[in-house]
Structure 1
Amino acid sequence: MSGPVVIFGGTFDPVQSGHMAVADQAHRQLDAVALRFVVANIPTLRQPALAPAAARVEMLCAAVAGDPRFVVDEREIRRGGTTYTADTMVEFHREYPRAEFRLLLGADVARSMPAWHRADELLAREHFVIVNRAGETPLRLDEAIRLGFDRQRTELLEVESPPVSASQVRRRAAAGESLAGLVPDSVAAIIARDGLYGSGRAVHNSRG
C-alpha cells in the first residue's frame, strides 16, 4: 500500500452531505488508498441510532455507490453489542498488518477522547486525523496534546463542508420537508420509501 487507509466511524443516522464532503476531502488531502465508513452498532457516548442498522448501511451504500475510493464496513454491526473503537482497530491491525491506518475524528469527537473506552490504548497506538470544519470551533494541536494525543501521530485537517447535521435531516424528514442539499438524492429516496425518522409522507430532494 502506498498511502493510508482512513477509518471514518459513526452512526450515519443518516449519512448526510457534510459526511460526504469530509470523506472526499480527507481522502484527497491524505492521499489515501481507501476510506472505510465504519457503521456503529450501539455508540458508547452518543444517543442510540434512530434508524435500524440495515437502513443506515443501505443509505451509506447508496451514497458511495460507484465511487471506488469508499468502502462501507459493517464489522461493528456484525459484532453486535456496544461499539468500541478500540476493538475495531485491533481487528483492522490484525486483518491488515501491513496497512497504515488513520483514524478520522471530528473536533467535537476528539474533545471527548478522555471519556472513550480504552482511550489510553488508542492514544498510544493509533494515528489520528482531527477534522476542523469551517464554521465550527477548531481544535488546535496544543489542545489536542492536552487531551492526550501524541504530537507525532496527530494531524489536523481543515475542510470545507456544508453546515448540515444528521439531526437537522431527521427533523426535516419528520416534517416532510425537502432534503435538497442535505443528503444525496439516493439517501432521500430511501428515507421516503421506508418512512424513516417518522417522515410519514413523501420526502424528496426537490427545490420546488
Structure 2
Amino acid sequence: MKRIGILGGTFDPPHLGHLIIAEETRLALDLDEIWFIPSYTPPHKTSAKSTVEDRISMVKKAIEANPSFTLNTIEVERVGRSYTFDTMKALRDAYPMIDFYFIIGADMVEYLPKWDRIDQLMDLVTFVGVKRPGYQLNTPYPIVEVDIPMIDLSSTCIRNRLYNRKPAHYLIPETVYSYIKEKQLYENR
C-alpha cells in the first residue's frame, strides 16, 4: 500500500521550513511522496495575502527539484473555506489504497481538539506532529511525532521582511524569491 504525506497550508509564500518538514517527515516515516495541498481559504485565517494562482505557482517552483514532492489542488478546486475533514474524506474516497499521513506543526497539534469533526478525521488519516519552537506536542489525540531540525520560520515573517524591503534569501527557494520579485508580491508600494 502506498504511503503519502499531506502538507497543507496557505503557502503564502512557501518557505524552506515547509520543505524541511516535508522531506524530514518523508524520510523518517519512509513515505512514498509528500503532497503539498494549498488551501483556498483556511478556516483559521481571514484570507491569503497573494492570489491562489500566485500561491500555486510558488508551490510548483518550491517543490520542482524534489521528485517525491507533488502539488495537489483539491482544496483550491473546491473554493471557499477548507476543512481537513472534507479534504481527507475526498482523498480517501478517490484513493482507497493509500495510507495518508497528515503533517502538522506543534502549534496545530495543540489546536487539534478544536478541528472540525476531529474524531471522524482521526479515522481517515494518521496525524504527524513536528516540533516547532515555543510549542509542545501535547494532545489527547494519537499522533506520530517526527523530530526535525528546528527552524523558527513562518510565511508571516517572510512577508514582513519583503514588505519592509528586507531580503529573504536563504529563507525561501531562489525560484520562489525570483517569482515574488517578478510579480512584486508582498511589497510596500
TM-score by length of 1: 0.86
Measure the CA separation in 2 of the matches of 1:96 and 1:199. 43
Shift of 1:199: 4.7
Q: Which has the larger radius of gyration?
A: 1
Measure the CA separation in 2 of the matches of 1:125 and 1:21. 25
Task: Decide whether aligned partners of structure 1 residues 48 and 181 sit closer, same or farther in structure 2, where only a CA change above 3 A counts.
Answer: same
User: Which runs of structure 2 are paired with 1:79-118 in the superposition (5 Å)?
Assistant: 79-118=78-117
Figure out how many residues of one structure are paired with residues of the other and give that number: 189
Shift of 1:161: 4.0
- Residue-by-residue CA offset, 1:18-73 (whole Å, 9 max, x unaligned): 11111110111111111000100011012311110010110010011131100111
CA RMSD, 1 decimal:
1.4
User: Which runs of structure 2 are paired with 1:25-174 in the superposition (5 Å)?
Assistant: 25-133=24-132, 135-139=133-137, 143-145=138-140, 149-150=141-142, 154-174=143-163
Measure the CA separation in 1 of the matches of 2:188 and 2:153. 18
Shift of 1:4: 1.5
2:62 is paired with a residue whose SS is helix
1:21 is paired with a residue whose SS is helix
TM-score by length of 2: 0.94
- Residue-by-residue CA offset, 1:142-186 (whole Å, 9 max, x unaligned): x322xxx13xxx211111043211111101111221111111101
Partner of 1:195: 184
Q: Deviation above 4 Å: which 4+ runs of structure 1?
A: none
- Relative contact order, higher structure (CA 8 A, sep 6+): 2
Task: Please tell me whether the aligned partners of residues 22 and 161 of structure 1 are also in contact (alpha carbons under 8 angstroms).
Answer: no
Q: Identify unmatched segments of 5+ residues in structure 1.
A: 201-208
Measure the CA separation in 2 of the matches of 1:83 and 1:137. 24
